[in-house]
Structure 1
Amino acid sequence: MSLKIGGTIEKVNGKELFYSEFAEKYLAGNQPVLLTGLMDDWIASKHWVSSNGQPNIIFFPTHFGKSKVQVADCDTREFTDQKRIEMSVSEFVNHWLQGSKENHDVNGKSVLYLKDWHFVKEYPEYQAYITPLFFTDDWLNLYLDNYHMHDDLDADRVSNDISCSDYRFVYMGAKGSRSWTPLHADVFRSYSWSANVCGKKKWLFLPPQQFNLLFDRNMKNTVYNIFDDISETEFPGFKKAIWLECIQEQNEIIFVPSGWYHQVHNLEDTISINHNWFNGYNLSWVWDLLLRDYKEAKEYIEDIKDICDDFEGLCQRNLAANTGMNFNDFFIFISRFSLANVVELYYLRGELNSENSIWHCSAIIEHFALNLSSIRKTALKMKSEGVKGNLGIINLLETLSDPKFLKLCTGLGRIYSVIREEENWSCTMKKALMADFAKYGSQVCSPEDLITFIDYAVSKLSSNCDEQNPLLSVLYEIQPHEQN
């Protein structure tokens, strides 16, 4: 069955693109884009690439040879992914070099593809690259630098992928039609970006609005390889799918939005750097996709509902296994970030607000307000869609005393000082700036609690502001003349 290609991905010079333009068109719009001009100064672009433009493959066993990595056997399917093998970087490079001599893609031997190498975590002192400005607003990896996505250790053991400490990866794959990644949407239904340090890839994209075309009649199995001979009887909607195609060259970065299904093939020997991430711009997308996946997971096991002691708990465990997190994980995540954004606003008020002028002139204030607005709207969605009860307890005062949370706050502050190009912030303890919340004293346990907390915090922050207040205007979408 031939694919319907409906167009290509837009290519933009990243040096000529303002952050605000990228955020509005691609982050908020949830649209893919190919960016150029952002990798010129990367150490990886020098150390990892030979003078002829090919991967400097020998560099890796020399400097990182003992690292244990996950390698995909591209010819062997295991459930919805490729079979994974653990080996050292040296072993992988030896296999790569042997394959180059014997042309494995032709003679039928296994094609191995190194994936999900947690390079940043393993070698923090070796700064292979600088995350481009457009992707630095990364709540996911900031969070995982300080917390597990699952507090339940048993849940962590369900899947190594789910319990990973970060989602900043290096990939290495040889050229050929059999060096590839099967059709999928990214873990957590996050954004992702992928930078080709060297080599060339072919991407095929399908937007989330068409995801149902990829499933079989029972909505239980999805297409694995879009270039297989797909049965129209088993997958009746697949032939209606309209794909976007993208050829990614060396030194180009592709942005993959939330929930977009994609399949990727290495057209040349390729080394890439990849991040999964999300932030305030796509929280609503993440929630919508998480809810959709929950309903599918629930329907899938509906026939055992009457004999299951904890059917809802089973649904949530299946959801976490399939997407990387469940409702509880997501709620704890957005609750901690709501408090972190509030802490930063209190800190800025104490540092900068000798007069109330900062509440209408500082772009960074507006960005924190946008973050809170996104969290609040997402909580409202959760509430309106019937998500009730205790999703997890966030005790405000205990959280403020947690060193991990203070590190989260400091990291969040550093992110926005870069994006907004304002003065670097000091590492002053933020806890003292939350004295107001000693009186609040509530635990945040539900979407309704979270909405109440955000409203309370904003009212406190705005209580002494007589001038136009961007917190109120952004959070509640109030026009200036309504602020009386």
Structure 2
Amino acid sequence: MSLKIGGQIEKVNGRQLSYSEFAEKYLAQNQPVLLTGLMDDWTASKHWVSANAQPNLLFFSTHFGKSKVQVADCDTREFTDQKRIEMSVSEFINHWLQGSRESVLYLKDWHFVKEYPEYQAYITPRFFTDDWLNIYLDNYGMHVDPDTDQVNNDICCSDYRFVYMGAKGSWTPLHADVFRSYSWSANVCGRKKWLFLPPQQVNLLFDRHEQLLAQYGTKLVNMKNTVYDIFDDISEIKFPGFKKAIWLECTQDQNEIIFVPSGWYHQVHNLEDTISINHNWFNGYNLSWVWDLLLRDYKEAKEYIEDIKDICDDFEGLCQRNLAANTGMNFKDFFIFISRLSLANVVELYYLRGESSSESSIWHCSAIVKHFALNLASIRKIALKMKSEAVQGNFGIINLWETLSDPKFIKLCAGLGRIYSVVHEEENWSCTVKKVLMADFEKYGSQVCSPEDLVTFIDHAVSELSSNCNEQSTLLSVLYEIQPRQQK
């Protein structure tokens, strides 16, 4: 099927782009871009590529061959994705070298960083360092279900930093990324072809006619059928609007990195033997996208199983379990996530104020302080939306005192400090976290149990931080004036 191509993805030299320019033009506007010049010093670019610019498969077999990985059979569809097979890296390499015609295999979602933390294959580019998702998952699980064994459950996986490897002809079906997150993908070796559809057109991809089924008591609801391969002969009866879709395309060469914004559906084909490094991530810029799509998925799942409401003892609980199974988290997971992140941002602001020799000077024109304030503004906006939309469900409880004493939370705060010292190139800025704000919060209380509580907590923290400070406008104006500029 021929596609309507509406344009190419912009290509930019990343070495000539400032962080603020990238954030304003691509993060805040949710626009894709292809970046060059950011991979020259990567170890992966040296070890993983042979002298003839082909994947150095022998290196992987020798150094990482025993690792167990998930491999997609690109010729076999299983539900809405390709069939997955578990094998060792050595077995995958042998299949690749044999050039088997029976099936094209594609190694995907290899948690390489988590498995080999001492081997620094790459340094995350500064544009993508502000990564709330992975720094959180380094310390906490996103979704915890006591009723299931989650040792090998992707829902509670430890991170979203992956290595992909595939021969020419391997591909990934049409999809939008988990959590409706941002993602970036760096081609260490080979070339890829990307086809993108903006979020405004995604309704053209969904099957609006087929009856969708759900089983009572299961963890999974098949939310809706969507196009699997955009080059198939798409049924005009099932997908009557598909031919109206206008796509953007991009050919990604070796040593180029593509930024994939939230909610953009994409299909990817390896034009050559390829190795890539991929991260899913989100932060304050796309937090609104994550929540809006989480709420949409919840409403759709609830609608599909409405007919069993009267016979279900815990209908809302079932909705939340289905939501977590489909998206990776439910309302409680999301609320606890943003609550911990808001507290971590507050801790860093208190630390900065305490470390400054002049309380007013640290706030004056400080890019790091403004960034923390922007983060709090984004979280506050989402909490207000959760409150106004009267969403149901168990939001969980965050105990401030217990959280501040939790070693995992201290590590989260330290990691957050390191992120922003890199983003704003403050190499001498200390990332040490101290127990702060106890005295200021004695009158406030110790628990955050609802979106309203979270808004109150953020307002109280900013008020305390701004008291006795000559430069109150930095925190207060950023917190309360930044919101009209945030993406809706």
Alignment match of 1:171 (pick from 164, 170, 184): 164
Cα distance between partner residues in 1 of 2:180 and 2:396: 21
Q: Secondary structure at the match of 1:197?
A: strand
Which is further off, 434-443 or 371-380? 434-443
* Cα distance, 1:468 vs structure 2: 4.6
TM-score (norm 2): 0.93
Deviations along 1:123-159, whole A, 9 cap, x unmatched? 1111000100000111100000000001334357397
CA distance in 2, matches of 1:156, 1:419: 38
Identity %: 87
2:136 corresponds in structure 1 to 143
Residue 191 of structure 1 pairs with residue 182 of structure 2: yes
Asked if 1:113 is matched to 2:117, the reply is: no
Q: Which residue of 1 aligns with 2:308?
A: 304
Whole-angstrom distance in 2 between the partners of 1:464 and 1:238: 59
Do structure 1's residue 48 and structure 2's residue 51 form an aligned pair? no
The answer for the alignment partner of 1:81 in structure 2 is 81
1:458·1:472 contact (CA, 8 Å) conserved in 2? yes
Please tell me whether residue 321 in structure 1 is matched to residue 317 in structure 2.
Answer: no
Matching residue's letter, 1:193: W
Deviation at 1:187, TM superposition (A): 0.6
Aligned-partner residue type, residue 91 of structure 1: E
| 1:236-251 matches, cutoff 5 A | 236-251=240-255
Distance apart, 1:211 and its partner CA: 1.5
With over 3 angstroms needed to count, the CA separation of the structure-2 counterparts of 1:207 and 1:466, relative to structure 1, is same
Matched residues in 2 for 1:478 and 1:183: separation? Answer: 35
Structure 1 residues 214-223 or 2-11, which shifts more?
214-223
Which segment drifts farther, 142-151 or 235-244?
Answer: 235-244
Cα pair 2:181 2:261 within 8 Å, conserved: yes
Confirm or deny: 8 A CA contact 2:413 2:433 kept in the other structure.
no
Which range moves more in the overlay, 217-226 or 289-298? 217-226
Summarize the alignment of residues 77-476 of structure 1 with structure 2, pairs less than 5 Å apart. Answer: 77-99=77-99, 104=101, 109-154=102-147, 157=150, 160-176=153-169, 179-218=170-209, 220-387=224-391, 390-426=394-430, 428-476=432-480
CA-CA distance at 1:242 after TM superposition: 1.1
Q: Which runs of 4+ in 1 moved over 4 A?
A: none
Deviation, structure 1 residue 388: 5.1
CA distance in 2, matches of 1:298, 1:194: 34
> Offset at 1:425?
4.0
Q: Deviations over 1:63-99 (max 9, x none)?
A: 1110011101111111111111111110000000001
Residue 30 of structure 1: how far off its partner (Å): 0.7
**Is the 8 Å Cα contact of residues 196 and 271 (structure 1) preserved in structure 2?**
yes
Tell me, yes or no, if the aligned pair for 1:352 and 1:358 is still in contact at 8 Å: yes
The aligned counterpart of 2:213 is none
**Contact 1:389 / 1:445 at 8 angstroms: preserved in 2?**
no
Report the more deviating stretch, 181-190 or 355-364. Answer: 355-364
Q: Which runs of 5+ in 2 are unaligned?
A: 211-223, 484-488
Contact kept? 1:44, 1:197, Cα under 8 Å: yes
- Residue 154 of structure 2 aligns to a residue whose secondary structure is coil
CA contact (8 A) 1:346 1:434 kept: no
Conserved in 1, the CA contact under 8 Å of 2:350 and 2:436?
no
Match of 1:482 in 2: none
Determine helix, strand or coil for the equivalent of 1:361: coil
Unmatched runs of 5 consecutive residues or more in structure 1: 480-484
Give the AA of the match of 2:237. T
* C-alpha RMSD of the superposition: 1.7
CA distance in 1, matches of 2:36, 2:77: 34
Q: Is the partner of 2:120 in helix, strand or coil?
A: coil
More off after superposition, 270-279 vs 152-161 = 152-161
Which amino acid is 2:144 matched to? D
Instruction: State the partner residue of 1:36.
Output: 36
- Alpha-carbon distance between aligned partners in 2 of 1:88 and 1:287, rounded to the nearest angstrom: 37
Query: Which amino acid in the other structure matches residue 175 of structure 2?
Result: H
Q: 1:318 to 1:270 in 2, by over 3 A?
A: same
Distance apart, 1:160 and its partner CA: 2.1
Cα pair distance change 1:82/1:414, threshold 3 Å:
same
Tell me if structure 1 keeps the 8 A contact 2:180–2:293.
yes
TM-fit CA distance, 1:217: 1.7
CA apart distance, 1:115: 0.4
Q: CA separation of 1:183/1:252 partners in 2, compared to 1, >3 Å: closer, same or farther?
A: same
| Cα distance in structure 1, aligned partners of 2:112 and 2:482 | 45
